[in-house]
């Protein structure tokens, strides 16, 4: 497997080095292994790998999961496409973006009063990921041949069918929203981001090319 770590932004490389030794608990690894197996199955058959991360508002956890999964795939030299969506449109929360910036991503915002579009740069010379709140079936998202990764309990329970999904994989994360406007706000967003980053690192480190 050819690592492409040198293609990532310098600050991102440092962040990934710091979290690379974090291992998920036995319970978490069992859920994550389902995602590993799905990716490996597609790669072994030389089929496209599409991962669609879903939470209720597509504002925090699904955005972090999409961006970290795409970044870790790049880090390990694995060709995949990551997406995110929700069951309601709100806006990608600015606290989510601030946490990504602290981790080493470069972000530019396109002005929009209600639902800003953030360009998230993670790899030198490559087009950015676009972070904005959208529905699961938004035209930017795949309509077939993808795994639906459910990142929150509400979406998992209230979105019983994801049309077009080959597989549904629940990998839930605690919502940092409950710490908004508290002294712990930045810490809790960073902890959520770090957990997602370390688990996506674990997932892609296990893929055999």
pLDDT at 3: 54
pLDDT at 145: 97
pLDDT at 2: 45
In a domain, residue 3? The reply is: no
In a domain, residue 195? The reply is: yes
- Can you state the angle between helices 185-205 and 94-103, rounded to 10 degrees? 60
CATH of the domain at 122: 3.40.50.2300
In a domain, residue 97? The reply is: yes
In a domain, residue 2? The reply is: no
Domain, as residue range, for 94: 26-173+184-205
In a domain, residue 11? The reply is: no
In a domain, residue 13? The reply is: no
Torsion of CA 106, 19, 95, 180, to 10 degrees: -170
Would you say 103 and 193 are in contact if contact means Cβ atoms under 8 Å apart? yes
Model pTM?
A: 0.95
pLDDT at 115: 94
Q: What is the mean pLDDT of each run of 10 residues along the chain (209 residues)?
A: 72 96 96 98 98 96 98 96 96 97 96 90 93 96 97 78 93 96 98 98 97
In a domain, residue 178? The reply is: no
In a domain, residue 32? The reply is: yes
Number of domains in the chain: 1
């Amino acid at each position: 497997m050819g690592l492409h770590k040198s293609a990532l932004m310098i600050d991102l490389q440092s962040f990934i080095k710091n979290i690379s030794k974090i291992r998920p608990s036995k319970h978490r690894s069992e859920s994550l292994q389902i995602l590993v197996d799905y990716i490996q199955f597609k790669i072994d058959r030389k089929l496209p790998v599409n991962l669609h991360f879903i939470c209720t508002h597509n504002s925090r956890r699904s955005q972090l999961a999409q961006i970290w999964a795409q970044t870790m795939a790049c880090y390990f030299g694995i060709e995949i496409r990551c997406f995110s969506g929700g069951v309601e449109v709100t806006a990608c929360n600015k606290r989510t973006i601030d946490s990504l910036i602290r981790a080493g991503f470069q972000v530019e915002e396109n002005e929009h009063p209600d639902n800003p579009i953030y360009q998230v740069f993670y790899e030198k010379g490559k087009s950015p990921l676009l972070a904005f709140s959208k529905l699961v079936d938004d035209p930017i998202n795949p309509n077939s041949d993808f795994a639906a990764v459910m990142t929150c309990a509400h979406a998992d329970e209230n979105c019983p069918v994801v049309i077009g999904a080959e597989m549904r994989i629940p990998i839930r994360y605690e919502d940092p929203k409950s710490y908004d406007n508290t002294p712990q706000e930045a810490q809790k967003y960073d902890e959520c981001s770090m957990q997602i980053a370390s688990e996506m690192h674990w997932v892609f480190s296990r893929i055999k090319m």
